[in-house]
């Protein structure tokens, strides 16, 4: 039975690798998909957090170079804003959803029951971990190519930069245009003082409700606002 389960898991990995257009070592891919909640429930096995740390750096470099080369007309401040919008947890969560990553993430029972496979922070962290794993196994060129395939569609949407740079104002503007009351925000916080976690819920009349997460109230509200703006802009 264990062998059958392992073979089923390898077939699932094959599906994900085809989507990503890579041929990554299965053990590294499995590690990249291992959230700390799963690791804790399975005897403290390694998590994807080190790979996430590496992938964050590779992601930032690839996006920075691409923006620098493609936009000689932009100054340093504008380039920095665009980079921030493209490597944000909201943007990476959108990337993860586009490739159907959620079901592949190895989560503990608690996270599974609370919808962890759809949480922006978990989705974004897993994307970064996969990028880190690709860098280790296949090298910088392949990792950079993967980043640009994943993030490229976001770069081609000029509306995104305005919303991503000031999502709360952008949401307020689209709400007014649609004849809705101004957005309202509710905040929940958890965790110890040195490691607070915030979840913001924004409500836009009866048009949209969205949530966002972050290590600060502001970050969570911005993530929620961008999520709501994306929903309304697609109408």
Annotated binding site: 52, 125, 128
Can you read off the two tokens belonging to residue 145?
A: 């190519």
Structure tokens at 179: 């004849």
- Contact residues for 71 (Cβ-Cβ < 8 A; gap 6+): 78, 79, 82
Q: Which residues of 115-135 are buried (b: 16+ CB within 10 A; e: fewer)?
A: ebbebbbbbbbbbbbbbbbbb
Task: Specify whether the CB–CB gap between 147 and 62 falls below 8 A.
Answer: yes
d(CA 224, CA 214): 10
- Whether 56 is a known active-site residue: answer yes
Burial class of residue 70 in the structure, from the number of CB atoms within 10 Å of its CB (0-12 exposed, 13-18 middle, 19+ buried): exposed
> Given 94, 128, 213, 227, which residue is catalytic?
128
Please identify which of the residues 56, 213, 221, 227 carries the catalytic annotation.
56
Known binding positions for Mg(2+): 52, 125, 128
Instruction: List active site positions.
Output: 56, 128
């Amino acid at each position: 039975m264990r062998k059958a389960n392992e073979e089923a898991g390898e077939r699932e990995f094959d599906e994900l690798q085809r989507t990503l257009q890579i041929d990554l070592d299965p053990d590294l891919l499995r590690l990249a998909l291992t959230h700390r909640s799963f690791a804790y429930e399975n005897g403290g096995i390694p998590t994807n957090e080190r790979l996430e740390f590496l992938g964050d750096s590779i992601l930032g470099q690839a996006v920075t170079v691409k923006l620098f080369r493609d936009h000689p007309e932009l100054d340093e401040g504008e380039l920095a804003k665009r980079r921030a919008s493209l490597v944000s947890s909201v943007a990476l969560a959108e990337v993860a959803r586009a490739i159907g990553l959620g079901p592949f993430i190895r989560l503990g029972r608690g996270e599974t029951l609370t919808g962890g496979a759809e949480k922006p922070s978990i989705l974004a962290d897993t994307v970064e971990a996969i990028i880190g794993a690709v860098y280790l196994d296949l090298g910088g060129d392949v990792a950079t190519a993967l980043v640009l395939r994943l993030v490229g569609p976001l770069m081609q949407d000029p509306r995104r930069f305005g919303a991503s740079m000031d999502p709360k104002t952008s949401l307020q503007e689209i709400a007014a245009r649609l004849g809705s009351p101004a957005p309202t925000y509710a905040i929940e916080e958890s965790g110890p003082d040195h490691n607070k976690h915030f979840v913001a819920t924004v409500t836009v009349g009866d048009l949209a409700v969205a949530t966002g997460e972050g290590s600060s109230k502001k970050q969570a509200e911005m993530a929620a606002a961008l999520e709501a703006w994306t929903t309304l802009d697609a109408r």
